[in-house]
Amino acid sequence: MTRKRLLTGDRPTGKGHLGHYVGSWENRVALQDEYECFFLIADLHTLTTAAEQARQVSENVRELVLDWLAVGIDPERSTIYLQSLVPEVTELFWLFACLVSVPRAQRIPTLKDVMRDLAIEEPSVGLLSYPILQAADVLMVRAEVVPVGKDQESHLELLREIARRFNRLYGEVFPESQALIGRVPTLVGTDGQAKMSKSLNNAIFLSDPPEVVEQKVRGMYTDPKRIRSTDPGTVEGNPVFIYHRAFNENREEVAELEERYRTGRVGDVEVKQRLAAALNRFLDPIRERRARYAAQPGLVDEIILSGTARARAEAQATLRLAREAVGLPYQVS
Binding site for ligand ATP (CB under 6 A): 10-11, 13, 19-20, 22-24, 148-149, 151-152, 186-187, 195-199
Based on CB atoms, which residue is closest to ligand ATP, 23 or 307?
Answer: 23
Side by side, which strands form the sheet with 36-41?
Answer: 79-82, 36-41, 5-10, 145-148, 178-181
Based on CB atoms, which residue is closest to ligand ATP, 190 or 280?
Answer: 190
Based on CB atoms, which residue is closest to ligand ATP, 151 or 253?
Answer: 151
Q: What is the closest distance, in whole angstroms, from the C-beta atom of residue 131 to ligand ATP in the complex?
A: 11
Based on CB atoms, which residue is closest to ligand ATP, 38 or 170?
Answer: 38
> Of 148, 146, 132, 138, nearest to 174 (Cα)?
138
Q: Where are the beta strands (DSSP E) in the chain?
A: 5-10, 36-41, 79-82, 145-148, 178-181
Based on CB atoms, which residue is closest to ligand ATP, 13 or 207?
Answer: 13
Q: What is the closest distance, in whole angstroms, from the C-beta atom of residue 149 to ligand ATP in the complex?
A: 2
- Interatomic CA distance for residues 61 and 216, integer angstroms: 25
Q: What is the closest distance, in whole angstroms, from the C-beta atom of residue 222 to ligand ATP in the complex?
A: 18
Q: What is the closest distance, in whole angstroms, from the C-beta atom of residue 71 to ligand ATP in the complex?
A: 12
Check: CB of residue 132 under 8 Å from CB of residue 161: no
Pairing of strands 178-181, 145-148: parallel
Q: What is the closest distance, in whole angstroms, from the C-beta atom of residue 13 to ligand ATP in the complex?
A: 4
Beta bridge partners of 40: 9, 81
- Interatomic CA distance for residues 75 and 83, integer angstroms: 16
- Looking at beta carbons, which residue is closest to ligand ATP? 23
**What is the CA 200 to chain-centroid distance, rounded?**
16
Q: What is the closest distance, in whole angstroms, from the C-beta atom of residue 141 to ligand ATP in the complex?
A: 17
Based on CB atoms, which residue is closest to ligand ATP, 201 or 333?
Answer: 201
